[in-house]
Every structure is written in C-alpha cells, then in structure tokens.
Amino acid sequence: MTFEEFEKKYEDFWTYPYISGSGRSYKTDQTKPRLETSWTVGGMTGGSCWGTEADQSVSADDEPEMHDLDKILEETAPALTFLQYKSICRLLKTVDSTESEYYGNYYDKRTKWIDARELFEALVKMGYVQESGS
C-alpha cells in the first residue's frame, strides 16, 4: 500500500489545517492530512456592549478520545500491542489557541492531532502495513 492509497482509504477521517484567512478547512497542495480533535480548556464570558466585563469563567471540557485513530488502528493493526499503541500516541501533537469574541469574551482551545503520513510510516515500520512503490 502506498501512502496515497492509505490516505484515500481513510479519506473520511482526515482533516486539513485551516488555510490562513479562509476560515475553512480544505485540501490544497500545501496542506497535510491529519486526524484531529479540539476542545475548550477555559476562557471568560459575560462581556457585553452595555459595558459589563467578561467575568464568568468557562469550564473546561473533558479531553475527547481520538475515535478515528482507534478505528484506523482497529482495522489496520488489530494485533497492536499496548507499547506499540503508546509509541503511536507519542506522535500526537497539541497546540493551544484562543478564540476571541467581542467585549472581552474568549475561549481557550486545545487541539490534538496526528499527521497521516507519520501514522502511515509508523504502521509500516511496525509491520502492519506493507509499503509498495508509488
């Protein structure tokens, strides 16, 4: 299997990073597919146009599971050991960001993702995917 075949097989799972200024996620030659999940980790609300300050803290959401990663691994590597799973989890990256709104309101977000090519290469290295020529 080539990376392109792997990408196509799981195309419904991939997301693509935002193109700067577009406000949308879509595929271009410059974007790389990845599995991704985001959640709120804090923030403040309550600010209004009548002069009230953002004074109500936002509760953090629980960190969501990476269900799409689990589905891919269940299909591709059903005999994956716990230590191999931990090795794949070390490929996960996180980034924090803030979504600002009007009147001082904001939400702190955390995004966790794994690059599709890095996942593919790990599965090849572990012997669960047989890499073929392009």
Could you report the per-residue pLDDT of 113-125, keeping only the tens digit for each?
Answer: 999 999 999 999 9
Could you report the per-residue pLDDT of 55-90, keeping only the tens digit for each?
Answer: 999 999 999 999 999 999 999 999 999 999 999 999
Map out the domains of the chain as residue ranges.
3-39+59-98+113-125
CA gap 36, 34 in Å, rounded: 6
- Helices 67-76 and 82-89 pack at an angle, to 10 degrees, of 130
pLDDT recorded at residue 32: 85
